Structure 1
């Protein structure tokens, strides 16, 4: 295939070499020249209906939309002349004729293009004082989205999301002229799996997220880069959070998840399953370690829990050896945590019965972002060679027959996944069942020792997605009360057992050790992985250096 033809254009006196076939606005975005836009979105088709992006091109008598004008060799473009600025002001005045000035109560306030562009290009003297045309307000149109027709500027971004991203047309424009409204098709609601993306692309306050509505002002929120843990696609996301204002949303710290652009994974989108699956971060959290005896749960200190573990592990190894211990890790753990779990139990203690799998309760999938494998790091566990023999169910069934002295569960919920009867038998037949997890569940009411762990938003690390792309995530909020990241818990246990070489300060230290030992990670570090991740060469995956096998 021939290489794309290069052309040279001039924008505001700046000579730019670019690729033929791009539009003016695509070129200005690449070189950092700001042009306002409403209907244009880089992930959607071009319609050119808002006219806020008008620019001046030499030898063309009228202003042209930057989003729909392809560049040509020798083209000279002006983005900030007097007539261009006046055209933008006129477009804003037209769009605001019937727009309610309700910014103080609008959830989009602070991230609204109407606000931003009015302050940049508007500031005109109002010329119309007739009553505004009223339309429907605060109209729920789906389980996650609420519509305010008065605020809509008819850019059609949301319609194109339904048609081009979700492949389910559910929104349209109805009526004519100044009475045109956005609405769902008769007898339908906006309920496809990417409905939240319509809120993401809305440039004004017409479509709002019912889950986030009235919870917090956006200028109170902090933003942290992360990876969606909802499935093995590994969509890049932002975690929007606030820890300084506990009076907001009943003390909620994480307020919403938003898609983060990655051209190799999810582009600009994420599904509703991942978007709204964050509630467990601030609900039903385990605040500290607990010990359960005779059906009574008692809070204990971390030092007591670690001493109990040390005594039981040493006794088990002395009396029956590593065959008396079994471990179920989790595909929700970071790669670093899976590695330390393997290093502690398999390598240091010699445990053979170790697995990571969890059954998928909702295997729903599509041909876009949603995968049936609902775990962010199952591929990472496979690369580390965890769980190559047997199965999680087989380990639980062996435990129910009294085969083990210690069963260690990480992020697992056996009651929900395998049934209460099996797990009750496990607890009766196993002297010590340790459950290391984030939330109170059906299984925590049965386990002998409960250790509070931190979810993805409270720690750093990496996930490997289904395409074997390793990606970083960063800590947003501090661990809840006495909860600890899983890699820290493994290190604390190793230190309690007196194992040498467990001196990690950060998760990055763990990754550096992994990179030295596993060929598939060699040459990588957190800086190399960066914001968008790195595709791994899976053919390099092999047993770790020094594994002794």
Structure 2
């Protein structure tokens, strides 16, 4: 492992580390466009120029490997002049349309110009080379070739990650541009990453385009709820509305990528939300206060369990619930209602696309967590059979869907149960027939942990308070349990996780705080 010096800072790095990668690790800024940690090195933007002692000329940091005793400088006047010159060449034909560019506020060209440029153009406006603008090239992407700085990140991504090779350089000289191959469109499930890695506004995301200026957005760390892979994401929001999800680096899960399906998961936090508690009597639904809905639900569950026996009560858990919520749902069933009728299903309506990269056929974030906590799909099958046989008199349903059953089948099934209570985030067939609807917070409005398909337990954060009158699911479960005679005193997801880890073998030895930003895998042999 070589030791070198950069701007007077001594550091030791692994063999084969480039100057740029080492600088990023240490926290020394070197401007760059074409370099990306998960793509091959191209070295064509020439922005990352540095001085290396005993080298006769400036070197590109992205393709120069650190050696023992190397001395590097990144902040000399010679370097600044060189970088300014490179920027000027990039800006010669660049359109000055920053006010209408969707990349404004997170544009590498803007940022570096303000730091290294600030020069007047020496090129007449009428001599600028014009290229095609606003091209729908398929997938989630709009191409503006005039804004492109030819960094080749998009081309390398399509070659090396999606392996679909839809884009390439065309023309030559100052007429060079990126484009899609004639007669083709972007044809893969990862097109949104092109907008993420584009350092300028050449490739923008159709879904986010012109929705909101980025300086109005705030962000929080989360986990994608689109499938069992559990990709780490950064969620951007304004007020109580989510605007987009972008991948957050976790080399053990999703590297720096995410699929196009997962990018649209934010919509579930915005659309068709259950926002007020509801009680339905004699077929008529009406908004109600939380106290009334919690008390009515607890009273009916307790009354049926006591008078008709615990086998007359059932719980259907949701693989979209957190580990903490699933733990409490099982605790409610086993310790409060004294019933063994609990299960979950990973089957959901809609597409079950999967691949050998990030997309899993299980479209739930926490099926593995449910299984590790002893909630099974076989249990769901037994509950459904008991409902069909009219043996269930009270049913507590978590989530907005009931397997991949058609709505008519769900309505017919639930009509066999005298009392149905739903805890969920979104409107659906269950909320349309439930006697009590208890609206819960979305993934953006609560914190907790999910366990992905490999057994990695990962934290997701609360971005903003629950919308409307929705309530955190932990509070709902505690409210029901305590109204049925329990004495639960959990103070948020961290305290629930402590209880979970103390009583569930797969999570033994874990703590909420120690999970960190990358999560921890459950003990081998306990999955």
Aligned residues of 1:358 and 1:392 also touching (Cα < 8 A) = no
Q: Tell me by how many angstroms 1:538 deviates.
A: 4.1
Residue 368 (structure 1) aligned to one of 342, 353, 357: 357
Quote the offset at 1:198 in angstroms. Answer: 0.5
In 2, Cα distance between the equivalents of 1:28 and 1:264? 23
Structure 2 residues not aligned, in runs of 5+: none
The whole-number CA distance in structure 2 between the counterparts of 1:420 and 1:349 is 28
Partner of 2:89: 94
State whether residues 284 and 440 of structure 1, in contact with CA within 8 Å, keep that contact through their aligned partners in structure 2. yes
Is the 8 Å Cα contact of residues 401 and 426 (structure 1) preserved in structure 2?
no
Q: Residues of 2 paired with 1:99 and 1:327: CA distance? A: 60
| Residue equivalent to 1:248 | none
- Partner-residue secondary structure (3-state), 1:172: strand
Aligned equivalents of 2:14 and 2:417: distance in 1? 67
1:254 maps to which residue?
242
Do 1:468 and 1:538's aligned partners in 2 also have CA atoms closer than 8 Å?
no
Cα pair 1:396 1:422 within 8 Å, conserved: no
In structure 2, what is the equivalent of residue 348 of structure 1? 336
Q: 2: distance between equivalents of 1:481 and 1:488? A: 16
Q: What is aligned with 2:521?
A: 535
Q: Does the 8 Å CA contact 1:335/1:377 hold for their aligned counterparts?
A: yes
Distance in 1 (CA, whole Å) between partners of 2:256 and 2:521 is 19
Supply the distance in 2 between the matched residues of 1:393 and 1:518 (Cα, whole angstroms).
24
Alpha-carbon offset, residue 430 of structure 1: 1.1
Deviates most, 130-139 or 41-50: 130-139
Pairing 1:239–2:227 present: no
Which of 425, 428, 432 is 2:415 aligned to?
428
> In the alignment, which of 144, 147, 150 is matched to residue 148 of structure 1?
144
Q: Is the aligned partner of 1:491 residue 2:502? A: no
1:67-111 Cα shifts (integer Å, max 9, x gaps) = 011122232222122211111000000000011111111111111
Q: What does residue range 52-71 of structure 1 map to in structure 2 within 5 Å? A: 52-71=47-66
User: How many angstroms apart in 2 are the aligned matches of 1:15 and 1:28?
Assistant: 11
Alignment of 1:69-468 (within 5 A): 69-131=64-126, 132-243=128-239, 253-360=241-348, 361-387=350-376, 390-414=378-402, 417-468=404-455
For residue 269 of structure 1, report the CA deviation from its aligned partner: 0.6
Residues 1:514 and 2:503 are matched in the alignment = no
Moved more, 177-186 or 126-135: 126-135
Task: For residue 229 of structure 2, give the secondary structure of its aligned residue in structure 1.
Answer: coil
Q: Give the CA RMSD over aligned residues.
A: 1.6
- Alpha carbons 2:343, 2:381 under 8 Å: kept: no
> After the TM superposition, which of the residue ranges 454-463 and 360-369 deviates more from structure 2?
360-369
8 Å CA contact 1:141, 1:190 repeated in 2: yes
Rounded to whole Å, the distance in 2 between the matches of 1:421 and 1:151 is 51
CA distance in 1, matches of 2:302, 2:379: 26
DSSP-derived class of the 1:316 partner: helix
TM-score (norm 1): 0.93
SS of alignment partner, residue 189 of structure 2: coil
Higher mean Cα deviation, 159-168 or 419-428?
A: 419-428
Distance 1:529 1:130 in 2: 55
Conserved 8 A contact 1:145-1:208: yes
Residue pair 2:51, 2:57 contacting (<8 A) in 1 also:
yes
- Are the structure 2 counterparts of residues 405 and 538 from structure 1 closer, same or farther at C-alpha, using a change threshold of 3 Å? farther
2: distance between equivalents of 1:413 and 1:447? Answer: 12
Of stretches 186-195 and 200-209 in structure 1, the one that deviates more from structure 2 is: 186-195
| Map of 1:547 onto structure 2 | none
Aligned residues of 1:400 and 1:425 also touching (Cα < 8 A)? no
Q: Is the 8 A contact 1:238 1:259 kept in 2?
A: yes
TM-score by length of 2: 0.96
Question: C-alpha distance in 2, partners of 1:285/1:16?
Answer: 52
CA contact under 8 A between 1:40 and 1:67: conserved in structure 2?
yes
Structure 2: distance between partners of 1:408 and 1:80: 64
The Cα shift of 1:45 comes to 0.3
| Distance across 2 between alignment mates of 1:19 and 1:310 | 59
Paired residue for 1:246? none
- Relative distance call for 1:15 and 1:445 in structure 2 (3 A) is closer
Matching residue of 2:13? 18
Post-superposition shift, 1:540? 4.7
Count of aligned residue pairs for this structure pair: 525
Distance 2:361 2:464 in 1: 29
Which deviations, in whole Å up to 9, do the C-alpha atoms of 1:232-268 show, x marking residues without a partner? 111111110110xxxxxxxx71010011111111111
Question: How much does 1:358 deviate?
Answer: 3.1
1:51 aligns with 2:38: no
